[in-house]
Structure 1
């Protein structure tokens, strides 16, 4: 997520939340290839690599941030350049909790998110469940995928 996308305070990264998110994805998703942090000393992002992606994508990655203030970003990108994001942060383009639909996850295309919980495990499970449903239904077209954020 771009810093330009945020209009208010996001807060410092909360490492215990990133660790919990990592553990949940490892528990829930058999397609997880690897997990890593962008910096081993002072991580700001968890990266989850998947061995497959939506539709014809050969692989995918989730870049995840979670702050001490409970702000977050789950950004999906795959080898077919499909992007979408579930975010919670202050901004000028939409409600605080919002979804940027595929295929480019444009800032101006944000819409209200169907995720109305804020606890790290529940948000993670919701994002995973929506990703898994799209994956199993081979559902990557813009109209169908955008329902992930408004279902």
Structure 2
């Protein structure tokens, strides 16, 4: 995610949240190939690689940030170069909690997120559930369509 998309304070990365997100994806999603951090000493981003993606994509990756202030970014990109992301951060273009739809997750197309919860496990479960529904039904419109997930 571009830092230009954020206004105000995102805050320092909260490693225990990234560890919890990693553990939940490993528990919930059989398509997880591997997880890693961008920096082994001072991680700022969790990477979750998937062995399949939406539609015809052969693989996908989630790049995730979570701050000590509860701000987050779950950014999906796949082998077909489709992008979308769920964010919570101060900005000038949309509500604090918002969704950037596929195919390019453009800042200008941000819309309110259907996720109302803010606790790390609940946000993670909500995003996973919507991704899984979109994957199984081959319908990316399901990514931001649940009613108060999870």
Question: Is residue 143 of structure 2 the alignment partner of residue 148 of structure 1?
Answer: yes
- Provide the rounded CA distance (Å) in 1 between the counterparts of 2:9 and 2:2: 13
Superposition pairs for residues 65-84 of structure 1, below 5 Å? 65-84=65-84
Give 5+ residue unaligned stretches, structure 1. Answer: none
Q: Using the TM superposition, give the Cα deviation of residue 149 of structure 1 relative to its aligned residue in structure 2, in angstroms.
A: 1.8
Aligned residue-pair number: 146
Give 5+ residue unaligned stretches, structure 2. Answer: none
- Aligned Cα root-mean-square deviation (Å): 0.8
TM-score (norm 1): 0.95
- Provide the rounded CA distance (Å) in 2 between the counterparts of 1:136 and 1:12: 35
Question: Where in structure 1 do 4 or more consecutive aligned residues deviate above 4 Å?
Answer: none
Superposition pairs for residues 20-99 of structure 1, below 5 Å? 20-99=20-99
- Provide the rounded CA distance (Å) in 2 between the counterparts of 1:41 and 1:78: 27
- Provide the rounded CA distance (Å) in 2 between the counterparts of 1:149 and 1:8: 25
- Provide the rounded CA distance (Å) in 2 between the counterparts of 1:10 and 1:88: 9
